[in-house]
Chain A
């Protein structure tokens, strides 16, 4: 039997080394802890003695405590064995079930967004005839927040990307002697594709996330319930002003961004391909059929709906605490961008 003399103070600072020594001894045989000098202990002492007691029980070796003062004895006698409840099993590890769950939630969300679209269209058309309609001036406010305030960043992004694209195209076209075709090719690409796509992706990141966060916060703070309790349809109050605002601003913003992109392209055409402004404009006119502007506007309109409806749906379905607001915002941006890209691919097959 070995004996270990405990120090005057047993604390977190010295208990780790001491515990290792005691464990070593206890694994090989009986152990006596001499507490004749031990006067004070901190919170770590409970774990120290409990661990040694459990080890003694496990190995079958005897653990004895000698010469402990009465206070410490009384404390150790009251030390209880605890068996906390097991962590509940959450979710599943089955890949098929997980995939099924993902598919199901995707379908559920798609249906929810579709319902929201129909309800938004319904309230947009019949809202003005509803006698209890609330006039919030919400549409103009949302147009300003989601449209006007996003103008700068949309112009900057679309302008710079078009500039880069024009530069790379000009190098290739000049190499094969086709620099004069830059305007028509670039014009079509910008108005038909880059303008609506980039503008709405930026809107999804900037305005969509703001919408999702705002509505999610209202959901979490019971404001949506309060709206319902006053017999006001939340869709009419929260979604419709945003839906109308983005239906108006997105095509306009997309068109304006396309113009900025074309002007950026002109800089490259002028300096790298020797194309004058009038020739550049003629090239664009030749490259774009009038119907392209309509198709581009329809695309921008649908993408704007996608941004609004996904953001509002994520916001309305948020529940929990502050964490839910963050989750709704992130999910809104990711879902909207993915949906816009998928919709863009579908439009490419339908329109061209």
Chain B
């Protein structure tokens, strides 16, 4: 199947520290590709590099057959074909939920009458079950609603590729589950491919088609969820069985001398 996103030998650093050493993977049309790994392994850095919010050291990113070098920015056309759901939602606080969702439309179709834009936004908000918050400001809605509002904004232009940074983090289990189901519904109804950064095992089990697991700047495994769960690799075993690897700074026990 056609790959709509291809990351090729990506290397990225923060200051003198190399976070991503050699990352390569692709995303096929219509699939949900998850980026997994323990906290601090560079998942969000990878997303920021793919989205070109920060410049990479080397490697290329190919969007819809268009290649971007390490120092290139994404062009407007590519940005409009992708949507991003940020970890915090990142709604503009001064604008209502509807105005937030309208921003991409205003940018891409400035000639469109406001009433038409409002109709499109209403459709997107209905898709994320948030039509009732149309005129509310981000400060007036809950965390889960903010994420859904941000999702409505991300899908406003019916993007072909959707990036989600830890969509269910910080949500209660019920809201997290409903958000996962929403993502699946969007994939099925709109045919959106997704790259989802997460370490929520419950979400992974529900929505993951294929995953890449990052460790120490490299791809430890690229495969399906089934393959990951059956892997003998200790890191993956710990991850999928939710076991905490032992780390200690102990140098032994005190040898007290007891006499009775």
Contacts and interface: CB of A to CB of B under 8 A. Distances in A.
A223 B83 CA distance: 14
A131 interface: yes
B253 A132 contact: no
Interface stretch (B56-64, B104-112, B228-236): B104-112
Interface string A198-239: 000000000000000000001001110111111110000000
A134 B107 contact: yes
The SS class assigned to the B binding surface is mixed
Contacts of B189: none
A168 to B, nearest CB: 46
Contacts of B87: 222
A135 to B, nearest CB: 8
Nearest to B103: A230
Interface stretch (A74-82, A254-262, A277-285): A74-82
Contacts of B153: 226, 230
Given A222-B90, A225-B90, A65 B253 contact: no
A139 interface: no
B66 to A, nearest CB: 15
A229 B47 CA distance: 12
A275 interface: no
Contact of B251 (A79, A83, A229): A83
A225 B86 contact: yes
Interface residues of B, number: 37
Nearest to B156: A230
A225 B256 CA distance: 58
Contacts of A229: 51, 79, 82-84
A62 B51 CA distance: 64
Interface in B26-48: 48
Contact of B106 (A134, A221, A227): A134
Contacts of B90: 221-223, 225-226
Given A84-B249, A132-B108, A231-B107, A225 B53 contact: yes
A132 B76 CA distance: 10
Contacts of B103: 134, 227, 230, 232
A32 B257 CA distance: 10
A161 to B, nearest CB: 35
A50 B110 CA distance: 72
Contacts of B104: 230-231
A133 B256 contact: no
B142 interface: no
B106 A82 contact: no
Contacts of B82: 229
A222 B260 contact: no
Contacts of A67: 260
B249 A231 contact: no
Interface in A181-208: none
B252 interface: yes
A80 B250 contact: yes
A170 to B, nearest CB: 49
A40 interface: no
B253 A228 contact: no
Contacts of B111: 131
Contacts of A28: none
Nearest to B105: A230
Interface in B91-125: 91-93, 103-104, 106-108, 110-111
Given A65-B258, A66-B260, A222-B86, 12 more contacts: A53-B254, A63-B257, A65-B257, A78-B253, A80-B254, A132-B110, A134-B106, A135-B106, A225-B86, A227-B103, A228-B53, A228-B79
12 contacts: A64-B259, A66-B259, A66-B260, A81-B252, A82-B249, A82-B250, A85-B249, A132-B106, A134-B106, A223-B90, A228-B79, A230-B103
Interface of A: 32, 49-50, 53, 62-68, 73, 76-85, 131-135, 218, 221-223, 225-232
